[in-house]
């Protein structure tokens, strides 16, 4: 039996991630990543290594931004007050900055048992943290108000679709400047609605109880009119 061909790790070919902590090894990995000669598996390993090395720094930065927003951001303070009025508490003890894995493809998350997770290695800049935190706080308000069923088995996909619509609409993540400068989408008509619908469908698709892309689109469409119009606890779309 002939021995298997060893993987091509030359910079000119498809290169895998090289294990090691020396400056030379890290430079080689950076060069291969920057020139596009690293395999998809190697790219995942590269970013995983970067996230591990900067985890403590990323989390400290995220926590500093979180604390600032809890004290000074109008939208975060307003949501905090309204969550408290429903008997909930969100503060630095249950809004946690953590490293998220690349395959999770998330910026943050809400769990009614544990609170909010902010992906410290993904969120860059205070505005991004503010949008993500506001998004998850809308989920928290909705859960306290309507007891959304988030469970993977038997979860209410329409209820999840509704809170995703509201969170994307009310958090500020779909404002025109974000779409133009962040996603390079230049539209003046129905820009906000299109962004909210797109992000809501993406979020519903990621839920374990969603069986297909068509199910996600269907769930969003079925609740769109009532949920998009519902701006509570705001009087109108704030940002």
Give domain limits for the chain.
Answer: 50-126, 148-239
pLDDT in tens, the chain (239 residues): 444 444 444 433 446 888 887 877 877 777 787 888 888 878 777 777 777 788 899 999 999 999 999 999 999 999 999 999 999 999 999 999 999 987 777 899 999 999 999 999 999 899 999 999 999 999 999 999 999 988 766 667 999 999 999 999 999 999 887 665 555 555 656 789 999 999 999 999 999 889 999 999 999 999 999 999 999 999 998 77
Sheet bearing 95-98, strands edge to edge: 95-98, 115-119, 108-111
Tokens 């820009």 map to which residue? 191
Is 0.85 surpassed by the pTM of this model? no
The two structure tokens encoding residue 175? 């404002």
3-state DSSP assignment of residue 57: helix
Q: Which amino acids are annotated catalytic?
A: 136
Number of alpha carbons in the 13 Å side-chain half-sphere of residue 231:
10
């Amino acid at each position: 039996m002939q021995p298997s061909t060893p993987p091509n790790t030359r910079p000119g070919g498809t290169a895998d991630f090289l294990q090691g902590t020396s400056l030379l090894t890290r430079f080689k990995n950076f060069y291969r990543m920057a020139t596009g000669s690293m395999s998809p598996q190697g790219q995942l390993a590269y970013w995983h290594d970067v996230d591990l090395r900067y985890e403590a720094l990323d989390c400290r930065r995220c926590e500093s931004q979180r604390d600032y927003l809890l004290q000074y951001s109008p939208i975060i303070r307003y949501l905090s007050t309204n969550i408290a009025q429903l008997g909930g508490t969100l503060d630095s003890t249950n809004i946690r900055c953590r490293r998220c894995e690349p395959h999770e493809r998330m910026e943050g998350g809400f769990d009614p048992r544990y609170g909010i997770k902010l992906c410290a290695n993904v969120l860059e800049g205070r505005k991004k943290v503010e949008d993500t935190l506001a998004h998850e706080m809308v989920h928290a308000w909705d859960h306290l108000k309507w007891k959304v069923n988030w469970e993977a088995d038997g979860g209410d996909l329409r209820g999840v679709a509704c809170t995703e619509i509201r969170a994307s609409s009310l958090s500020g993540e779909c404002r025109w400047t974000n779409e133009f400068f962040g996603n390079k989408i230049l539209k003046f008509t129905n820009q906000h609605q299109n962004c909210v619908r797109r992000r809501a469908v993406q979020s519903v698709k990621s839920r374990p109880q969603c069986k297909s892309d068509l199910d996600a689109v269907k769930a969003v469409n079925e609740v769109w009119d009532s949920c998009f119009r519902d701006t509570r606890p705001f009087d109108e779309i704030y940002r």
